[in-house]
Structure 1
Amino acid sequence: MTTADLIWALVLGVGAVVEAYALCSRKLGDTLSERTRAWLHVRTKPGRALFTVGWCGFSVWFLLHILTESM
């Protein structure tokens, strides 16, 4: 296991703990999806459009990045 593996495991682990806490607390606005909606203003037309374009663009880039080991 490399140092990068350990760092990514730590980042993902901390994120999972924060999300689990948010789900168990049942406080509105604590989960990652609720924060993402608020940060990106997806309840507005421009926010929704920007999120959609960004998400689709990222998805295509990530798919190609993983499959072709480039970009």
Structure 2
Amino acid sequence: MTNSWLIWAGWTSLFALAETWALMNRKDGDTLSENVRTLFRIRTSKAGRALFTVGWSGFSVWFLIHILTETM
């Protein structure tokens, strides 16, 4: 294990704890998905929906290729 592995494991654990807390307390606006919807104005902006769709799709394709081919 390297130090970077520990950093990623720690970040992932903190995120999981924060998201679990947000889901359990049922307070509006504190989950990742709620904040992403707000950031991109998903409910009120077609441009926001399009921007999120393009960004998410682009990231997904890049990440898939990156993991499968070990490039980029």
Q: Which bracket does the TM-score occupy, shorter chain normalised?
A: over 0.9
Consecutive unaligned residues of structure 2, counting only runs of 5 or more, are none
Aligned equivalents of 1:62, 1:42: Cα separation in 2 = 23
TM-score, normalised via structure 1 length: 0.95
Give the root-mean-square deviation of aligned CA atoms: 0.7
Matched letter for residue 59 of structure 2: F
Matches within 5 A, 1:9-20: 9-20=9-20
Which SS does the other structure have where 1:6 is aligned?
Answer: helix
Corresponding residue for residue 67 of structure 1: 68
Fraction of identical pairs, as percent: 61
Deviations 1:28-53 (A, max 9, x none): 11111001111111121000000001
Question: How many residues of Structure 1 are paired with residues of Structure 2 in the alignment?
Answer: 71
String of CA shifts for 1:44-69, please: whole Å, max 9, x gaps. 10000000011111111111111111
1:56 aligned residue: 57
User: Residue 7 of structure 1 corresponds to which residue in structure 2?
Assistant: 7
Alpha-carbon distance in structure 2 between the residues aligned to 1:67 and 1:23: 32
* Structure 1: gaps (5+ residues): none
**TM-score, length-normalised on structure 2?**
0.93
Runs of 4+ in 1 over 6 A off after TM superposition: none
